[in-house]
Structure 1
Amino acid sequence: MLICKFHIDMNKHLRNFISVILVAVMAFSGYKIATTLLDYKKAEDTYTEIQENYSPEAEEGFMESDLKNINPDYRLWLFVENTNINYPVVSYGNNDYYLYRDFLGQDSRSGTLFMDYRNNFEEDESTVIYGHNMKNKTMFNNLELFKEKDFWEKDSVIRIYRGNYEYIYKPFSIFVAEPSFNYVKVDFNGENDFNEYINTVKANSTFWNKDAAPKYKDKILTLSTCSYEFDDARTVLEAKLIKKIPIN
């Protein structure tokens, strides 16, 4: 009888212990979900306010000087047609600083779209811009849309606003990059290097627009975000500059 009672008491304590652990796990999971959602909401509010007040679509017009005053690291405004990609782009002395900081410099899982630290926009042959693939469909998540045939065939253009000019780019490739492929090049070592790069992009493309394919010395825009087909995969959208027009 004593042995049976001992086992009953042990089972009871074990059940109570497991119940406490489960409650703790659920509480922690709930906390993590809540903090993530709050972080998403904060980021959305921050960028919505910036878009409404300072973007090229703002009621008072494009306020680039105000964006520079808010954040001296501001470099340009990026807009991708038929998506929700409509954000300021920054640049810093490395490619880590803005991974988890918003445009105001606050901690944020969403981060900020940022240009490769090696880039000089006017001079480089390829401008590379990075952004997170957020689960709430913000930042560079909508690059995933270009993997869909119907969307690709919409021929969406990409617009960059910088200084007194609007730069219009035409996508020529969407692909998933292997870790071994160095697609984040800002310049090329001659025509052969350029052609080798473009041929590798073409060979790996999900979709390819031969009419927009660049030739040597054309300006290229590379938009990069995380992808989940395999470890360290990246979704990459490549576009060619087709027009530079003054902003009225």
Structure 2
Amino acid sequence: MPKNTKGIRKYQQIQHANRTMFIWVAVASALVGAALVLSFTLFGQIMFKQKVIGEKNTTVQTLKKNNEVVTDLNDNIRLLESNQALGETPQPEDSKALAVILDALPSQANSSALGASLQQKLLNVPGVTVESLNVTPIAGVENSGEDTTADSSAGDNTISFQFSVSVKSGEGSLLKQVLQNLEKSIRAINVQSVEVQTSSEKITMNVKAAAYYQPEATIELSTKAVQP
């Protein structure tokens, strides 16, 4: 009996030791797992903060560069305002010289306004008959009920147009006046081709040309969400 009692006690002690060891192993595993999770969380937060700091530094550098060019920009504007050529260009009263630049290179295509200007001013020469005038709208920029539109994908901001004018035979100098009007126009116009046809009764001039516009630049502050 004493031997059996000793054996039982040893068995119980071994079982108790195993349970104690299991508990300690489980606790240690839980602590290690929690430490790993905490480490990954802290590492992620550190990397996220570094990313935010990097974006802030980029913003600061951009603002510094913008501030550095403000003085040069103001100097260039003052030079343009005092430019003699701009000052001598015909313009409405009480308007600044810089307005000439805006008139020469509008911020919108507005091909209908260009067509009206051609018909009412540039081609409106006494003795000259406008046979035809076609200003091609810009596809994707202007809405037009016509099928013919110019593609703006080239990015050159060009408005193509063509017209045909005629004068009586012997009055060819009037056609020269039309070309001079295009040359003197405040609007930037590039005459691409000129074709003159003569007959016993009249002289006809066919012209293909292009005008230009420059979309306005938008400057605004924006926000950027930095993802972890």
TM-score range, shorter chain: 0.3 to 0.5
Structure number with the higher strand fraction is 1
Which has the higher Rg, Structure 1 or Structure 2? 2
Report which of the two has the higher share of helix. 2
Per the normalisation by structure 2, the TM-score is 0.34
